Amino acid sequence: MRPAPERRRELLDTAAEVFAAQGYDATTVRRIADAAGLLAGSLYYHFDSKESMLDEILSGFLDDLWTRYDRVLAAGLRPRETLEALVTASFREIDRHRAAVAIYQKESGRLRDQPRFGYLADAQRRFEHAWLRTLESGVAAGDFRTDLDVRLTYRFVRDTVWVAASWYRPGGRHSPEEIARQYLSMVLEGIALRNGQRARAHQAHAPRTHEPYE
């Protein structure tokens, strides 16, 4: 028989997958119990309500995320390095908490007005402050372009990172670190070749001509 904390974690993982797929309001305790292979009454041995399950799923994700973020923000890195580390930390948390991220995206706008989930609004403000401060510091330090709207850039970076929860699957072809590296390359370097790069790329892919036999 599995220890109670381990079983509790398994049940939360199952509930997170059901919430992410069906939506919180449409999910019943019976549906979660069915997915976990339990009778509905047995689930109440571990949790008093589906709201408690959701609370633990979301707060656990945010606690883990901010453990990583705080470590990055306290490291004294340059703004660009901070941005790179925050993006990498975000993809690692998507790998660990993919379903929780999906729930957060779908449900937090409505839930944060409820007293029990008031910490979601606090997390959003804290998240925005950390990213805006990093971008603004990067502009001031000459790491980032001065012609960009910092708040618009923040929204772009935020949305394009966290939307990955809708398609990312742990154990897939690319690791979180590889996805972060590719993502950062596109964000920081762009996808269009500059003139000099275009010429070199053209030369590299040009068909080779063979010298005539003598």
Work out the average pLDDT over 101-112: 93
Q: What is the pLDDT of residue 170?
A: 82
Q: Under a CB-based contact definition with an 8 Å cutoff, are residues 87 and 154 in contact?
A: no
**Which residue is it, tokens 């509930």?**
15
**Which residue is it, tokens 């618009």?**
152
**What is the location of CATH 1.10.357.10 in the chain?**
49-204
Distance CA 162, CA 128 (A): 13
Task: Output the average pLDDT for the chain.
Answer: 88
**What is the location of CATH 1.10.10.60 in the chain?**
1-48
Q: Which two tokens stand for residue 57?
A: 């799923």
Distance CA 201, CA 33 (A): 56
Task: Name the superfamily (CATH) of residues 49-204.
Answer: Tetracycline Repressor, domain 2 (1.10.357.10)
Residues in the chain: 214
Distance CA 104, CA 144 (A): 29
Q: What is the pLDDT of residue 205?
A: 52
Q: Which two tokens stand for residue 41?
A: 């009454």
Q: What is the pLDDT of residue 3?
A: 53
In the chain, what percentage of residues exceed pLDDT 70? 89
- Three-class HEC string of 13-37: HHHHHHHHHHCCCCCCHHHHHHHHC
Q: Which of 95, 92, 99 is nearest to 58 (CA)?
A: 99
State residue 77 phi and psi, 5-degree precision. -80, 160
- 129-187 per-position pLDDT tens digit: 999 999 999 999 999 999 989 999 999 999 999 998 888 888 888 899 999 999 999 99
Q: Under a CB-based contact definition with an 8 Å cutoff, are residues 94 and 101 in contact?
A: yes
Distance CA 206, CA 190 (A): 23
In the chain, what percentage of residues exceed pLDDT 90? 72
Would you state the CATH architecture of domain 1-48? Orthogonal Bundle (1.10)
Q: What is the pLDDT of residue 206?
A: 53
Least confident among 1-15, 64-78, 169-183? 1-15
